[in-house]
Amino acid sequence: MAVDEDLKLLHVSQIDRAMVEATAFGEFALECLREAIKSKDVVITNNVITDPSDAPTTNTNFANLRVVVALPLVNYGAIYLDQHISKGIIPKQMVERMMQLITYVIDNNLQQSTVDELYQMYHDMPWLSPTVD
């Protein structure tokens, strides 16, 4: 999901818009995006334990655990990624590649690229680290 600096939704991919607009998800996702925009740094978290002091003593709360990464697009907005923990974590290498791609796109004024073009850049550009899907 991509938002502008005012947290206006610009694009969603592989997620149901109804889920994006659901109160619990929306509040959490927007807070992650807000933090990434404000700090100008990558935010890595989850949707169950946002404060380690609140961590449960059992794993009963992990049925809906999602791994979350919010990437800042300085002076543009932010990108939100998440996936269910059953699919694994979002690899650090992928986050680094996405940040490299974001920097490249902004530096080269390629913001109007289509999703397919961005995907192709992500996989083809020789200056990026090895491919991670």
Do 29 and 17 sit in the same domain of this protein? Answer: yes
The number of beta carbons lying within 10 Å of the beta carbon of residue 91 is 12
The number of beta carbons lying within 10 Å of the beta carbon of residue 98 is 20
| 113: containing domain | 91-133
- CATH number for 60: 3.30.450
Do 13 and 60 sit in the same domain of this protein? Answer: yes
Looking at residue 130, its pLDDT comes to: 55
Task: Classify each residue of 13-35 as buried b or exposed e, where b means 16 or more C-beta atoms within 10 Å of its C-beta.
Answer: eeeeeeeeeeeebeebbbebbbe
Do 9 and 70 sit in the same domain of this protein? Answer: yes
Do 70 and 110 sit in the same domain of this protein? Answer: no
pLDDT tens-digit map of 63-89? 677 788 999 988 889 999 888 788 878
Total structural domains within the chain: 2
Q: Rounded to whole angstroms, how far apart are CA atoms 13 and 80?
A: 10
pLDDT tens-digit map of 12-21? 887 776 776 7
Do 106 and 82 sit in the same domain of this protein? Answer: no
Residues 6+ apart with CB under 8 A from 124: none
Looking at residue 113, its pLDDT comes to: 85
Do 56 and 77 sit in the same domain of this protein? Answer: yes
Do 126 and 83 sit in the same domain of this protein? Answer: no
Looking at residue 61, its pLDDT comes to: 55
Q: What sign for the dihedral angle of Cα 80, 64, 94, 113?
A: negative
Do 71 and 95 sit in the same domain of this protein? Answer: no
Looking at residue 35, its pLDDT comes to: 95
Do 11 and 29 sit in the same domain of this protein? Answer: yes
Looking at residue 6, its pLDDT comes to: 94
pTM exceeds 0.75: no
- The residue ranges of the chain whose pLDDT is under 70 are 17, 20, 48-63, 126-133
Do 15 and 33 sit in the same domain of this protein? Answer: yes
Do 83 and 102 sit in the same domain of this protein? Answer: no
Hey, is 45 helix, strand or coil?
A: strand
102, 79 contact by CB (below 8 A): yes
